[in-house]
Amino acid sequence: MSIDSSAFGHLALIRRTSRGSSGRSYVTERTKSALFLGDRWPSIFPVFQGVRTLCQDNIFVFSGRLLVTSCPENAVSRLLTECTQIEAKSISMNEAINHRAGMAHSAIHRNATEDGFQSFSDFWNYIFFELGDKRTNHWPLLGSPIPGLTILALYLLFVKWIGPKMMENRKPFELKEVLIVYNAYQVFFSMYLVYEALDGLWLNKYSCFRCESVEWEANEYTMRICRGFYVYFIAKLTELLDTVFFVLRKKDNQITFLHLYHHTMMPMAAWGTTKYYPGGHPAFIGSINSFVHVIMYAYYMFAAMGPQFQKYLWWKKWLTTLQLGQFCLAFLHYMQILFHKDCNIPKWSVIIVLPNAIFFYYLFNDFYEKAYGPREQKKKENGIQQPIENGKKLE
């Protein structure tokens, strides 16, 4: 015998089981969605107390499950009926709240677009608070772009002026141990992101062959996605240390336009997706980028270990090829949002993503041609080959 009440999350499934001489037992399984229904417990508590009296205290909550022993079925039915009514009332209330929130958002948008903003602070609040995802808006560094832009400004100031000036009359730091630890940290950081992407998205729910919408609900699954996006954003900030180490080691030839553009653009792109669209279609770019970084930072880690390991780094050329393939996949995958009307990712975002994918491909291909093109091959054939630098970056 079973009693089903799918409407109420906490009482999603009640089934009768055997408990020996103690009589009947009804076990209520709590679904994943019920994990975020804890605020409704105050509403059900008086009902629970009343039924508990009828059941002579043979009803209790244990480890997220409602256990009922030796209790009349009519008492259990009453509990289910009243809980269902509470849930229906809660759903109606939530729908009304969502409707009012939608109307308020539309009113804000209408006033902003038709009547204009009364002040710069109104515009600022609208762009960076009203439009931001309420699940991530309050997280560190996401409230406004100022913290991130400040970090990037200090980064550029150091690598272009302060750092070179400071190192002008100094010998370069070797930093061998620091580089090994740093690159190992980046490898494990990227491996964690790849695991989260595969386990939480691509092997579970997402598909590479359709436009994936952002799910705006706040539940265990969507919050895991939000955290993944946030960790990816933090990872892009930590990668600024790549350039800092170049400066301290006086590898100024490695600080190219490609390198600086990549390291300043990626953190703010990750900031924007984490703040406004944490989930959905943009997750693909972060997933493949993290996979590439696992291999890339492993290469840097071995290169930093010294000449004895450099003979094993023959696959450097293929690492650059992998980077080029990454941008091709990102371009093709992101174009899908242009052909799916039911996808909530804004189509105007292609103006940012696609040109950058093309630009990155051009820059990396230019690097590839200079490093491995016919002219370089001819130099190698003539015995003119530059040694591999410790920790040399490809970007």
Catalytic residue list: 262
Contact 224, 317 (CB under 8 A): no
Contact 52, 65 (CB under 8 A): no
Query: Which residues are bridge partners to 28 per DSSP?
Result: 14, 66
Which of these, 265, 243, 215, 62, lies nearest to 159 by C-alpha position? 243
- In angstroms, rounded to a whole number, what is the distance separating the alpha carbons of residues 70 and 25? 7
- In angstroms, rounded to a whole number, what is the distance separating the alpha carbons of residues 177 and 200? 34
Angle between helices 241-248 and 176-197 (to 10 degrees): 170
User: Is residue 354 exposed (0-12), middle (13-18) or buried (19+ Cβ within 10 Å)?
Assistant: middle
- Give CA separation, 284 vs 122, 139, 165, 337, in Å: 34, 23, 40, 13
DSSP state of 199: I
Q: Which two tokens stand for residue 144?
A: 């406004």
- Containing 291, the helix (H) or strand (E) segment is helix 283-304
User: Letter for the amino acid at 348?
Assistant: W
User: Is residue 49 exposed (0-12), middle (13-18) or buried (19+ Cβ within 10 Å)?
Assistant: exposed
- Give CA separation, 57 vs 49, 73, 131, 264, in Å: 9, 15, 50, 63
Report how far apart the first and last C-alpha atoms of the chain are (Å, whole number).
64
Q: Which two tokens stand for residue 239?
A: 């990668």
DSSP state of 158: I
- In angstroms, rounded to a whole number, what is the distance separating the alpha carbons of residues 301 and 391? 7
Query: Which residues are bridge partners to 3 per DSSP?
Result: 14
- In angstroms, rounded to a whole number, what is the distance separating the alpha carbons of residues 249 and 243? 10
